[in-house]
Chain A
Amino acid sequence: MSAAPALSADELTMAQRLVDALSLEGVNASAIAPNAALFGGHSDGLGLDSIDALEIALMIQQHYGVELKSDDPQAREAFNSLRDLTDYVLMRRKS
């Protein structure tokens, strides 16, 4: 893939929290592509699995006070990428 588009400040904070929560060794938070798939074996994604999704949900509950609910289709889509996750959490936090 080409050079990663720059992350917004919120995305960078989220990326750093993901790296910490999942203890992703050797991953530089600022180098995560905002639109890359977080899950599955995509070449430019992080290749996370479902337990990682749980860790992410727990981290978001703790840091943002937002609960990702299984029956909310928007919450499920939030797991698509760093950008989707950040947008969803900020949107939910405002409301």
Chain B
Amino acid sequence: MTRYWEQQRERSFTIMLYGMAWATLLLGRQIARLILFPIVGYFLLTSPRAVRASRHALRRLLGRKPSWMDVARHFYTYATCAIDRLYFLKGREGQFHITAQRPAAVTEIASSGRGCLLLVAHLGSFESLRALGTTQRNLPLSVLLDREQGKKMIGLLERLNPQLATQLIDASLRGPALVLKLKEAMQAGRIVCMMADRARADERALAVQFMGGAVRFPEGPWSLAKALGVPVLLGFGLYRGGRRYDVSFELFAERITAERANRAAELQAHAQRYAQRLEFHAQRAPYNWFNFYDYWADEPAGSFPASSFK
């Protein structure tokens, strides 16, 4: 089981980072980013799995062998997004420059009160999307999160922003109760956000090609959108250095269809098209890729020889 992302060091990495960042809410962002340097250095030296995962991903996303500096920059981007998340949660997004791309079709659906799915990924900052949607535009957002997976972290986030607690749908419910909650949220016209780039080990998954390798995407979002007949939107919040975030939304499909006889193949085709959109955005911002575990099925643990480093 240890090879699954649930058990990864990333969790302790995140908790430590957030503990530190809490203090830096008081010290301000510039000082916080200075403190991140030794912390990132520490994790570079002590987290071989995360370093290996970073090298695997960067090699694909950059299209070349990553250097130590690339990996350091990758970690630093992750750490920066993690502390910025706190500022977003505290409603301090005024200090950032956020550009937003929102096609008319997306605005129409988001403000129609129809309910829809908003798919996001472990790429850049989900919180920049949320800040834009809830704080600035007052959209009815619900966020699917697994409380069992990050009790401490979610507890911290909710303390920072009590409004968030009312928006969370707890994925650890599993089973009928969870899908009924999701159905109720969307039928009540809410925009339900969920991560679509990681499948749990015990969850139905679809095999897709992503950045030249095989990965497992969860089937849930696609089955859900199909059953409920809701539109599917995609959201990307990319960190661009300094205080800049680029947020963009896309209309993926007005509805997800799949003929019964050919259901698996058609759902797979949707997931594959999503993988291509994710690829496009990940390549725009390679250091924003935040899946620090063995993501590709064809790269088992330890398969990456040290000699392939520059």
Question: Do B184 and A51 touch across chains, with their CB atoms under 8 A apart?
Answer: no
Contact B175 A39 (CB under 8 A): yes
Which secondary structure characterizes the binding site on chain A? helix
Q: Is the CB of A68 within 8 A of B180?
A: yes
Q: Are B227 and A54 in contact (CB under 8 A)?
A: yes
User: Are A54 and B184 in contact, CB atoms less than 8 angstroms apart?
Assistant: no
Partner of A69, one of B175, B184, B204: B184
**Which range contains the number of A residues in contact with the other chain?**
10 to 19
A31 on interface, CB distance cutoff 8 Å: no
Q: Which residues of B contact A23 (CB under 8 A)?
A: 260
Cβ < 8 Å to A, chain B residues 209-223: 220, 223
Q: Would A76 and B177 count as touching, CB distance under 8 A? A: yes
A53 touches B180 (CB 8 A): yes
Residue A49 is within 8 A (CB to CB) of chain B in the complex? yes
Alpha-carbon distance A82/B240, docked complex (angstroms): 54
CA distance A55 to B220 in the complex (A): 13
The CA of A69 and the CA of B224, in the complex, are separated in Å by: 17
CB pair A76–B227 under 8 Å, yes or no, is: no
Given contacts A51-B223, A57-B183, contact A70 B204 (CB under 8 A): no
Q: Does B251 contact A (CB under 8 A)?
A: no
In the assembled complex, A50 has its CB within 8 A of some CB on chain B = yes
Question: Is the C-beta of A58 less than 8 angstroms from some C-beta in chain B?
Answer: yes
A55 to B227, CA, bound (A): 7
- Contact A79:B220 (CB < 8 A) given known A23-B260, A69-B184: no
Show 29 A/B contacts (Cβ-Cβ < 8 Å), sorted by A.
A39-B175, A50-B174, A50-B175, A50-B176, A51-B223, A51-B224, A51-B227, A53-B175, A54-B180, A54-B182, A54-B183, A54-B223, A54-B227, A57-B176, A57-B179, A57-B180, A57-B183, A58-B183, A58-B227, A58-B228, A68-B176, A70-B177, A70-B178, A70-B180, A70-B181, A70-B184, A75-B180, A76-B176, A76-B177
